[in-house]
Amino acid sequence: MTALAFDSLIFDLDGTLWDTTPACAVAWNNVLARNSVEFRKITAEDVRAVTGKPHEACIRETFVGLPEDQLIRLIDETATEDNAMIEKMGGELYPGVSTGLAALAQKYPLFIVSNCQSGYIEGFLNQHQLGPCFRDFECWGNTGRPKGENLKAVIDRNWLSAPLMIGDAEGDERAARECSVPFAFVTYGFGAATKPDMVFESFESLVHGLG
């Protein structure tokens, strides 16, 4: 495939554009302490192990063994605490993302589809002043729907005829296949891919390959 085959680029967020796992680990520990929930200390590696899944799934898979009422409280409060802590501590962009997105936006309409909670994408755009680069976005927190359905919604409402999905995990690849769009895999993120159409080892190489 070549860049000429695409009319737009749709990005996953965590593991593809930035890493907020240290801030989220602090947020989850804050919620545990505030609610006097006894559990081991959460690390960035714990968050990284579930990143890319809907927020509720992340919490349920991390805090196995806690009673349902505590899980519900953690699901609700960590979503808000994540956004607050990321605003305070920041999220780390991968090398080349800021300048690379600006360059790509000169050639393609850019979009984001993520399994994050509501307000998370807005935090990313505001913190790094990347709002002007993107035309639209959607997430699990807004719709309660899986990534494949949110990807299709973005494609449909923006009348995209030849988009490329870019992500770092099997869930991104699966969503792309469900929507019959090609998938570009970035190897520096958190996950894996089965049979991507394109592979990039850095964001700089992605920009070079698609630009």
Residue 129 has pLDDT above 60, yes or no: yes
**For residue 139, what is the domain's CATH number?**
3.40.50.1000
**For residue 79, what is the domain's CATH number?**
1.10.150
Residue 108 has pLDDT above 50, yes or no: yes
Q: How confident is the model at residue 211, as a pLDDT? A: 78
Number of domains comprising the chain: 2
Q: How confident is the model at residue 57, as a pLDDT? A: 94
Residue span of the structural domain in which 134 resides: 3-19+92-210
Do 191 and 98 share a domain, yes or no? Answer: yes
Residue 181 has pLDDT above 90, yes or no: yes
Do 44 and 70 share a domain, yes or no? Answer: yes
Q: How confident is the model at residue 99, as a pLDDT? A: 97
Predicted confidence (pLDDT) per residue in 22-70, tens digit:
999 999 999 999 999 999 999 999 999 999 888 999 999 999 999 999 9
Do 54 and 153 share a domain, yes or no? Answer: no
CB-count burial class (<10 Å; 0-12, 13-18, 19+) for 105: middle
Predicted confidence (pLDDT) per residue in 75-96, tens digit:
999 999 999 999 999 899 999 9
